[in-house]
Every structure is written in C-alpha cells, then in structure tokens.
Chains A and B, each alone.
Chain A
Amino acid sequence: MITLHSLITKYRTYVIIVLLCILATVLAAYSYFQDQSFRDSEKNKNGENPNIVEDFSPNLSITPSLLQSFQSINTIPTIQIDTEEKGLDLNSPEIITSKQSVASIKNALPYNKTITTSQGLTVEILIPPYDLLENEWTLTAHIFGVDYQVPQSDPEYQKNMYSFQEAAQEVFTFLQEHDISPSSIIIQWGDRAFIQERSSEWLYLLE
C-alpha cells in the first residue's frame, strides 16, 4: 500500500533528478557562451579581419607510427660499381613493392581533389596520371595552394602547415581506400626540392 510518506519520497527523487538536469543544461550553456564570447573578443582584437584564421590544430588521423612507416627515397638501397654511384637499386624489395603499389592504382589516377581546409585555404591535391609520374616506383603527390616558402615567423605559417597536413591526410585516405599502406609505396610530395623539404618537415612535425 502506498503511503503518503513513500509518495513524498518518490516525488522528492523526481524533483532532484529534474533539478540536476536543469543544472547540467545551465552549465553546458554557460560554458558554450563563455567560449563564444572568448572567440568574439579574439576576433575583435583582430579587427574582424576575415583573413585571420584562428589557430587550432587540424583534425588529423595521421599517427606517429604511420609516419615512421613511410617509405623515403633516402632510405632505398643504392648500387655502387667500382666505387661509382649507380643510383637506386631497382631490384631492391622496397622499389619492387612500391612499383606494385603504384601499378595497382594505375586506373585510379589521376587523383584530383580540391578541398577547403580547416584553416580556410583552398588546396588542390593532384596525383598525375600514371604515365606522367616521375617513374614507375614513385607516387608524386602535388598539393597546390600551400605556400611552402612561408617563413616560420610569418603569421601565415601555421595556416599553410596545417593545410598541407590536412591535404596529405586526403592522400593517405585515398591510398587506404585502395588497400595501400604508406610502408609499401614511395610518395614524393611535390617535385621542387624546397617543396619536398618543407613537406617532410611538416609531416614529421606531427610527431
């Protein structure tokens, strides 16, 4: 039999639960508006310049272990005959594997995708058709729209770095979709020396 006392106890429990829910909602709303207010004040400090991009890290799933598994042209065995440099050993397992990987996506090339990064930069990712690749064992991935020469002290530095990293992520995703691991393919990021150097630097900064 339900007594008056048990009814009051039950009612009290409901009231407490409802109050807790209201409190949680109020706290969440407060936190959101505080954050919004901070962002607005930062924008105001920047004079509402639409070119100024907030500094936040890109949303990436590139992991250090993935980066460590990269094939780099600098680690491929070379041949020397009578102390004369003969270049890369095309019979090395690394080259043979990479050749197979590149050949396996022959029909998926060219890969061309334009994205707007979280930094607001529009970048174009281009992996040329198979017959325009550097050679049979190298997958050249161009990421255009990024300024690779930007000085580290420049306000645009992080915007360019993060944008490159996000675009590189697209390349890895494309390879994953074709069941290719970064450890089984030699990727060359761009073709100018300064682009390759900056790209390596920015990829390894993720570590």
Chain B
Amino acid sequence: MPVEAQSSQNSCIPPASSVPEYQPPGNITYPENTTYHEGYVLLAQNCRKNYAVYEAAQNLTGVPWHILAGIHNMEGSCSSTKSLVSGRSIGALEPDVGRNCSYQDNGLGKPIPMAGGCGFRSLLDTAVYAGNHLKGKIGKVPNNIQEYAKALGRYNGIGNANCGRVNATMPYCPPPYEGYDHIYPFSKYDAIHEKMYLVYCADYTKCNPPKEYTRAGALVISNILSK
C-alpha cells in the first residue's frame, strides 16, 4: 500500500533542525532578511515531514527538495497522502495523465494503470514525476529565480498570470520576466507580491470581480525551507 510505504519512509526523516542545508544549482537567490508571516512558516515546517521523499526526488531529478516542497504545498498542502501532480489522493486517478501509462513501463516516477486511467503508487513517484515535469516546462533544471518563476508558472498553467487578465492595480505589471506576475510561484513572496489575484475561479470561468489570492506561492515555501 503506497501510504504505508510512505509512513515507513517518514520514520527515517530527521528532525527539522538537523535537515542539512541544500545549495540549489545556479544562482537562485532569495531576498535577504525576509520575514514571512508565521502562518507561512508553519506551513513550510509542515512540509519538512516529507523531507526524505523530496530529497530522494531531488537526487533523481536535480530539482531542489524545497522547490518540490513548494509545489507540494500548492497542490496538496504537503499532505503525505496527496500527490504533487494534482493534490489528489495517492492512488486516485490523475486526470492530467489520462490513459497514458502501461504496466510495461512502470519504473520510479511513472504513472501506473488503474481502473479508468492512470495514477501513482506513492508520494515519491509523484515527486519524481513532478520534478521531471517542471524541467520539461523549460527543457532543463531551472537555474535561477527567473527560470523557476517561468517553470512554476507553466507548471500551473499561465492562465493565472495576472497582468492583462485582472482589472486591478498591480505593482508587478508589466512583469519583467515570465512568471513574475503569476500566483503559483510568487503570491506573498515579497511586498510587491503581497496582493495578487486568482484569475480563474472555475474551469473556463474568470473571477468577476477579481478575487484576491490568499495562499503563499511555491517560492515562499521554498524560500523559508532553504534557509
């Protein structure tokens, strides 16, 4: 059972204080002396429970563990039973994968067939799949904050980029680079991104009037965890 396998992995996870600092590749830098709301810090700390899984996926994909944690927080609130791909329960059908899987190709990070489509066996499989997908969005492991912003925005879908889509005053418009105006990487990241907006309230339905997005973006969680 995937969830049980996950539990046994979690028992090996070191306490937060002993998690080694990981130096991400390239020159990804976060603002210095950033202090985040305590609630966001708690969210980030909650993700540390899956550290062993994120680290294993980092070793397999090259995507830093704290970026994977940021994605997992966005998708599944870092729940050990929720997928990094869509936040759905591990073992449930993944609509993004559709029918594109086979028992003849079921290695680590690969979706597996199940009644009605495809899903994943374990949190680690979803983390590896997510890491590879993030790379696929720009064709390589992101190497700096601009590339992470672009890859993460694309991971979510660019429909949630704010500039030109939301009728409000936004200090981050026009965006200096792709993803800078996207809630998925940057919501609550710094003072400029304190107030961002959800563009689509449902599939093919724009929020009207604009709806403020209240969650912290993936780079916030990553920033906190990388310290």
**Size class of the contact patch on chain A:** 35 or more
Q: How far is the CB of A114 from chain B (nearest CB, A)?
A: 11
Q: How far is the CB of A123 from chain B (nearest CB, A)?
A: 10
Given A138-B100, A152-B204, A154-B206: A85 in contact with B113 (beta carbons within 8 A): yes
Q: Report B125-143 CB contacts with A as 1/0, cut-off 8 Å.
A: 0000000110111111000
Whether B105 and A74, one on each chain, are in contact in the complex, defined by CB atoms closer than 8 angstroms, is no
Whether A86 and B136, one on each chain, are in contact in the complex, defined by CB atoms closer than 8 angstroms, is no
Please measure, in the bound complex, the distance between the C-alpha atom of A76 and the C-alpha atom of B113, giving whole angstroms: 14
Given A149-B204, A193-B96: A110 in contact with B139 (beta carbons within 8 A): yes
Whether A87 and B154, one on each chain, are in contact in the complex, defined by CB atoms closer than 8 angstroms, is no
B195: CB under 8 A from chain A? no
Please measure, in the bound complex, the distance between the C-alpha atom of A86 and the C-alpha atom of B154, giving whole angstroms: 31
Whether B135 and A192, one on each chain, are in contact in the complex, defined by CB atoms closer than 8 angstroms, is no
Whether B158 and A144, one on each chain, are in contact in the complex, defined by CB atoms closer than 8 angstroms, is yes
- Chain B, range 182-212, C-beta contacts under 8 Å to A: 199-200, 203-206
Whether B96 and A191, one on each chain, are in contact in the complex, defined by CB atoms closer than 8 angstroms, is yes
- Chain A, range 102-159, C-beta contacts under 8 Å to B: 110, 112, 126, 128-129, 132-136, 138, 140, 142, 144-152, 154
Please measure, in the bound complex, the distance between the C-alpha atom of A134 and the C-alpha atom of B116, giving whole angstroms: 19
Residues of chain A contacted by B113 (CB below 8 angstroms): 78, 85-88
Q: How far is the CB of A38 from chain B (nearest CB, A)?
A: 28
B102: CB under 8 A from chain A? yes
Number of interface residues of B (CB under 8 A): 36
Q: Report B93-108 CB contacts with A as 1/0, cut-off 8 Å.
A: 0011011111111000
- Chain A, range 139-196, C-beta contacts under 8 Å to B: 140, 142, 144-152, 154, 188, 191-196
Please measure, in the bound complex, the distance between the C-alpha atom of A144 and the C-alpha atom of B161, giving whole angstroms: 12
Residues of chain A contacted by B110 (CB below 8 angstroms): 135
Whether A191 and B136, one on each chain, are in contact in the complex, defined by CB atoms closer than 8 angstroms, is yes
Whether B157 and A195, one on each chain, are in contact in the complex, defined by CB atoms closer than 8 angstroms, is yes
Whether A129 and B139, one on each chain, are in contact in the complex, defined by CB atoms closer than 8 angstroms, is yes
B1: CB under 8 A from chain A? no
Please measure, in the bound complex, the distance between the C-alpha atom of A168 and the C-alpha atom of B116, giving whole angstroms: 29
Whether B204 and A87, one on each chain, are in contact in the complex, defined by CB atoms closer than 8 angstroms, is no
A24: CB under 8 A from chain B? no
Residues of chain A contacted by B159 (CB below 8 angstroms): 147-150
Report the 3 A-B pairs with minimum CB-CB distance, sorted nearest first.
A87-B113, A87-B102, A149-B159
Residues of chain A whose beta carbon lies under 8 Å from any beta carbon of chain B: 73-74, 76, 78-79, 85-91, 110, 112, 126, 128-129, 132-136, 138, 140, 142, 144-152, 154, 188, 191-196
